[in-house]
């Protein structure tokens, strides 16, 4: 299986471990992500101002380029890119006149009719690969490892672009169950992490991260598993320093562990809160033994 | 063309005044024909120095066009202004103390995060460079791609004069090329060997001999010079062929679209 791939800037800078792990895991599943030949930043935040069209130029250009490169669907790992691209796609489908206005501002060099799709990698795994195939690829089940799936906002809201039920999502739970992990759930799984308040009101983020990790811990979880690089940053960098800190995994890293891939491919040492001690405690990072 | 076959005259507006000038002149030649003496905004007159950025409009379009005055022919109805230079302020940096990270370019030029991918820079570039793409590469820390795509930049600054996000594109490209040159470019093996020989004083005798020669003797020696054979009979080292990049910096899509 081959799918066009839009990485987004974060995957090339602060979330490289997520991309490294994803590419390794997908290789093991026979899925090839083909990075777009040329791409630009997605625009980061979807503008809610109806007439501020220049803010939609970046995501529309991504789709226009995708089409020029001969593809009509593109996968991305980043929740933020996924959300911004998905909402721009809705704009293109519903308001072609706005796309025409955007193109006119850009010297008529943009052409896009809203006919392409953006897929989050979790959709590819759930709907194209299938959790049964993922379960079959597991070489070292995450037996005994108890994780709390955290969804945040961008994967689920607004519902018209979300990949799962915005109130009771299941995709990360089902993926973790396929890997053999124990799943702890709670009411704060879909609460916003505080997002860009980290820039100038980091107490907002600290309070939310702290409440979520406490709920996870109270339910017996030893780690958080998530998909969004911004949530990852906030959970990894702004967890209260006092007391035990909860390791934060990208789901791709746990897939790699469960698949028995070389831990060096999974960027396990690239976060502030160490991941290895927990994996070692569960005997998950040594070479797989025969018959495992 | 003989004296009786005059080039047809066209009318244009130079810096706010109407002039009638012969067609077929470059903008720069037309400015001088009109009687101006260029003391700024003119340099090599060959399209390489970037000193003569021009902003103009045509009477059949609402858009602003950009060009190098020495490389572009005047058109009937053109209305233009010369930009002596595009102001540039950057935070000083010391290349020797930079340790490249994915966010190095972003830290030096935080305004690149304001790029909305409008492509105005690319459309304004007289070199036909993919300016927006090298800014996007810089934004995600791809120093090599930023260096390659900006390789032919002549720092005329037109991109920066047109950017809605006030990005200093040509300064970003310059730092990308400096970082790539220092940390990314493979070293030429022969060069380091020769530098070691020089440091060891290997050529001091030959140099003293040259210094003592008369100009006539030097000229004779120069005319007799030969080029060294390559040690293993292969090709000489080519830095551009050794780049670990799919992009050829010399030939990459730098044709100017008219």
Q: What ranges do the domains of chain A cover?
A: 2-121, 139-281
**Crossing angle between the packed helical segments A96-105 and A79-94, to the nearest 10 degrees:** 110
Q: Are residues B76 and B124 in the same domain?
A: no
DSSP annotation of B180: I
> Minimal Cα distance from A104: which residue of B?
B118
- Mutation target to probe the B interface, by most B beta carbons within 10 A, among A35, A107, A196, A233 is A107
Positive or negative torsion for Cα A40, A88, A209, A282 = negative
Determine, for residues B140 and A12 on separate chains, whether the beta-carbon distance falls below 8 Å: yes
**Crossing angle between the packed helical segments A96-105 and A57-68, to the nearest 10 degrees:** 90
CA B96 vs CA A93, B92, B93, B179: distances in Å: 51, 12, 9, 10
Last residue of a domain, one of B184, B214, B235: B184
Determine, for residues B119 and A61 on separate chains, whether the beta-carbon distance falls below 8 Å: yes
Q: What is the mean pLDDT of residues B76-81?
A: 96
Determine, for residues B123 and A107 on separate chains, whether the beta-carbon distance falls below 8 Å: yes
Q: Are residues B99 and B174 in the same domain?
A: yes
**A104-121 residues labelled b (16+ CB within 10 A) or e (exposed):** ebbeeebebebebbbbbb
**B38-76 residues labelled b (16+ CB within 10 A) or e (exposed):** beebbbebebeebbbbbbbbeeeeeeebbbbbbbbebbe
Residue B255 is predicted with a pLDDT of 40
Q: Is the pLDDT of residue A233 over 80?
A: yes
Residue B196 is predicted with a pLDDT of 93
Collapse the DSSP code of B131 into the 3-class scheme (helix H, G, I; strand E, B; otherwise coil) and give the result: helix
- Residues 6 or more apart whose CB falls under 8 angstroms from that of A134 comprise A29, A125, A175, A178, A179, A255
Provide the residue range defining the domain that includes B109.
95-184
- Residues 6 or more apart whose CB falls under 8 angstroms from that of A137 comprise A28, A29, A259
Determine, for residues A12 and B63 on separate chains, whether the beta-carbon distance falls below 8 Å: no
- The pTM (predicted TM-score) of the whole model is 0.87
Among A185-189, B8-12, B180-184, the range scoring the smallest mean pLDDT is: B180-184
Neighbours of B201 (CB within 10 A): 9
For chain B, what is the mean pLDDT? 88
Q: Are residues B53 and B114 in the same domain?
A: no
Q: Is the pLDDT of residue B2 over 80?
A: no
ipTM computed for the complex: 0.91
- Using DSSP bridges, classify how beta strands B65-68 and B53-57 pair: parallel, antiparallel or unpaired: antiparallel
Q: Are residues B101 and B77 in the same domain?
A: no
Q: CB distance from A237 to chain B under 8 Å?
A: no
Class of residue B233 by CB neighbours under 10 A (exposed 0-12, middle 13-18, buried 19+): exposed
Q: Kindly state the tokens that stand for A47.
A: 């503008």
Residue B240 is predicted with a pLDDT of 54
Q: Is the pLDDT of residue A254 over 60?
A: yes
Q: Kindly state the tokens that stand for A191.
A: 């609460």
- Mutation target to probe the A interface, by most A beta carbons within 10 A, among B66, B117, B118, B142 is B117
Determine, for residues A40 and B103 on separate chains, whether the beta-carbon distance falls below 8 Å: no
pLDDT class of B248 with cuts at 50, 70, 90: low
Q: Are residues B78 and B109 in the same domain?
A: no
Determine, for residues A12 and B136 on separate chains, whether the beta-carbon distance falls below 8 Å: no
- Using DSSP bridges, classify how beta strands B53-57 and B79-82 pair: parallel, antiparallel or unpaired: antiparallel
Q: What is the mean pLDDT of residues B215-237?
A: 78
CA geometry: angle at B98 spanning B97 and B104, to 5°? Answer: 160
Whether B148 maps to a domain, the answer reads yes
A14 CB neighbours in chain B (<8 A) are 102-103
Give me the number of domains chain B comprises.
2
Full DSSP string of A3-17: EEE---HHHHTTTHH
Q: Is the pLDDT of residue B252 over 50?
A: no
Q: Is the pLDDT of residue B242 over 60?
A: no
pLDDT class of B253 with cuts at 50, 70, 90: very low
Highest mean pLDDT (candidates A125-129, B94-98, B147-151): A125-129
CA geometry: angle at A120 spanning A35 and A30, to 5°? Answer: 60
- Residues 6 or more apart whose CB falls under 8 angstroms from that of A167 comprise A190
Q: What is the mean pLDDT of residues B63-74?
A: 95
pLDDT in tens, B101-113: 999 999 999 999 9
Determine, for residues B115 and A40 on separate chains, whether the beta-carbon distance falls below 8 Å: yes
Q: CA-based Rg of chain A, rounded to a whole angstrom?
A: 19
> Minimal Cα distance from B64: which residue of A?
A107
> Minimal Cα distance from A58: which residue of B?
B117
| A/B interface, count of CB pairs below 8 Å | 53
Q: Could you say which of B103, B116, B133 has the minimum Cβ distance to residue A13?
A: B103
Determine, for residues A57 and B141 on separate chains, whether the beta-carbon distance falls below 8 Å: no
Q: CB distance from A54 to chain B under 8 Å?
A: yes
Collapse the DSSP code of A77 into the 3-class scheme (helix H, G, I; strand E, B; otherwise coil) and give the result: coil
Distance from CA of B116 to the nearest CA of A (A): 6
Distance of CA A287 to the CA centre of its chain: 27
> Per DSSP, what are the bridge partners of residue B11?
B20
pLDDT in tens, A89-103: 999 999 999 999 999
Q: Are residues B175 and B101 in the same domain?
A: yes
Distance from CA of B109 to the nearest CA of A (A): 16
pLDDT class of A5 with cuts at 50, 70, 90: very high
Of A264, A188, A273, nearest in space to A24 by CA: A264
- Residues 6 or more apart whose CB falls under 8 angstroms from that of B196 comprise none
- Mutation target to probe the B interface, by most B beta carbons within 10 A, among A41, A68, A84 is A41
Last residue of a domain, one of B184, B201, B232: B184
Q: Is the pLDDT of residue B235 over 80?
A: no
Neighbours of B25 (CB within 10 A): 18
Q: Report whether A273 contacts A24 (CB < 8 A).
A: no
* CATH of A2-121 given 1.10.287, 1.20.1050, 3.40.30, 3.30.70: 1.20.1050
The residue whose two tokens read 């905004």 is B41
Q: CB distance from A105 to chain B under 8 Å?
A: yes
Q: Are residues B174 and B138 in the same domain?
A: yes
Q: Could you say which of B119, B120, B139 has the minimum Cβ distance to residue A9?
A: B139
Q: Could you say which of A13, A43, A57 has the minimum Cβ distance to residue B141?
A: A13
Q: Is the pLDDT of residue B206 over 80?
A: yes
Helices (H) and strands (E) in chain B, counts: 11, 5
Q: Report whether A8 contacts A42 (CB < 8 A).
A: yes
- Using DSSP bridges, classify how beta strands B9-14 and B17-22 pair: parallel, antiparallel or unpaired: antiparallel
A55 CB neighbours in chain B (<8 A) are 116
CA A156 vs CA A15, B145, B225: distances in Å: 20, 34, 73
Last residue of a domain, one of B82, B110, B125: B82
Whether B216 maps to a domain, the answer reads no
Give the Cα separation of B155 and A64 in Å (integer).
29
pLDDT in tens, A161-215: 999 999 999 999 999 999 999 999 999 999 999 999 999 999 999 999 999 999 9
Q: Order across the sheet with A117-120: list the strands.
A: A32-35, A2-5, A73-76, A117-120
Among A19-23, A24-28, A47-51, B153-157, the range scoring the smallest mean pLDDT is: A47-51
**A232-269 residues labelled b (16+ CB within 10 A) or e (exposed):** bbbbbbbbeeeeeebbbbbbbbbbbbbbbbebebbbbe
Q: Is the pLDDT of residue B185 over 50?
A: yes
CATH number, domain at B48? 3.10.20.740
> Minimal Cα distance from A45: which residue of B?
B116
Distance from CA of A96 to the nearest CA of B (A): 18
Q: Is the pLDDT of residue A27 over 80?
A: yes
Q: Where does B39-127 have alpha helices with state H?
A: 104-108, 120-124
Cα atoms found within 13 Å of the Cα of residue A269, Cβ hemisphere only:
4
Q: Report whether B58 contacts B65 (CB < 8 A).
A: yes
Of A201, A134, A116, nearest in space to A172 by CA: A134
Q: Is the pLDDT of residue B256 over 50?
A: no
- Residues 6 or more apart whose CB falls under 8 angstroms from that of A240 comprise A206, A209, A210
B118 CB neighbours in chain A (<8 A) are 54, 57, 105-106
B82's enclosing H/E stretch is strand B79-82
Residue A292 is predicted with a pLDDT of 47
pLDDT in tens, A116-132: 999 999 999 999 999 99
Whether B90 maps to a domain, the answer reads no
CATH number of A139-281: 3.40.50.11810
């Amino acid at each position: 299986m081959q799918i066009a791939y839009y990485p987004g800037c974060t995957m090339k800078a602060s979330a490289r471990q997520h991309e490294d792990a994803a590419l390794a895991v997908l290789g093991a599943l026979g899925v090839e992500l083909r990075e777009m030949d040329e791409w630009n930043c997605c625009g980061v935040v979807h503008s809610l101002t109806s007439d501020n069209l220049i803010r939609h130029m970046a995501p529309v250009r991504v789709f226009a380029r995708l089409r020029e490169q001969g593809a009509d669907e593109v996968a991305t790992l980043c929740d933020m890119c996924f959300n911004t691209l998905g909402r721009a796609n809705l704009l293109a489908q519903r308001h072609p006149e706005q796309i025409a206005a955007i193109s006119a501002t850009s010297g008529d060099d943009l052409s896009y009719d809203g006919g392409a799709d953006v897929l989050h990698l979790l959709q590819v795994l759930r709907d194209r690969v299938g959790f049964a195939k993922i379960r079959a690829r597991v070489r070292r089940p995450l037996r005994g490892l108890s994780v709390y799936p955290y969804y945040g906002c961008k994967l689920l809201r607004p519902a018209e672009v979300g990949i799962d039920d915005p109130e009771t999502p299941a995709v990360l739970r089902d993926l973790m169950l396929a890997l053999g992990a124990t799943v702890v759930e709670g009411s704060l799984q879909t609460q916003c992490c505080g997002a860009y308040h980290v820039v100038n009101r980091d107490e907002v983020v600290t309070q939310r991260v702290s409440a979520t990790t406490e709920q996870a811990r109270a339910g017996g979880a030893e780690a958080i598993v998530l998909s969004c690089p911004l949530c990852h940053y906030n959970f990894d960098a702004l967890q209260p320093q006092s007391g035990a800190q909860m390791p934060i995994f990208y789901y791709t890293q746990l897939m790699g562990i469960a698949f028995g891939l070389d831990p060096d491919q999974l960027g396990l040492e690239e976060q502030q809160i160490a991941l290895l001690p927990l994996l070692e405690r569960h005997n998950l990072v040594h070479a797989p033994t025969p018959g495992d | 063309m003989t004296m009786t076959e005059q080039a047809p005259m066209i009318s244009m507006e130079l810096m706010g005044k109407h002039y009638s000038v012969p067609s077929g002149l470059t903008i720069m030649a037309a400015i001088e024909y009109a009687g101006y003496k260029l003391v700024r905004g003119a340099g090599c007159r060959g399209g390489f120095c970037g000193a003569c950025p021009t902003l103009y409009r045509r009477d059949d379009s609402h858009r602003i066009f950009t060009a190098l005055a020495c490389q572009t022919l005047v058109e009937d109805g053109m209305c233009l202004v010369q930009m002596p230079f595009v102001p540039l302020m950057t935070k000083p940096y010391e290349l020797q103390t930079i340790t490249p990270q994915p966010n190095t370019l972003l830290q030096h030029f935080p305004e690149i995060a304001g790029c909305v991918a409008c492509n105005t820079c690319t459309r304004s570039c007289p070199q036909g460079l993919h300016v927006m793409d090298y800014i996007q590469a810089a934004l995600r820390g791809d120093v090599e791609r930023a260096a390659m795509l900006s390789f032919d930049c002549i720092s005329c600054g037109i991109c920066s004069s047109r950017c809605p996000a006030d990005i200093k594109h040509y300064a970003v490209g310059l730092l990308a090329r400096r970082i790539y040159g220092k940390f990314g470019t493979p070293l030429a093996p022969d060069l380091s060997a020769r530098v070691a020989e020089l440091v060891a004083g290997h050529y001091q005798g030959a140099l003293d001999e040259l210094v003592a020669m008369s100009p006539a003797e030097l000229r004779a020696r120069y005319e007799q010079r030969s080029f060294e054979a390559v040690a293993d009979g292969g090709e000489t080292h080519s830095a551009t062929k050794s780049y670990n990049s799919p992009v050829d910096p010399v030939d990459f899509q730098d044709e100017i679209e008219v």
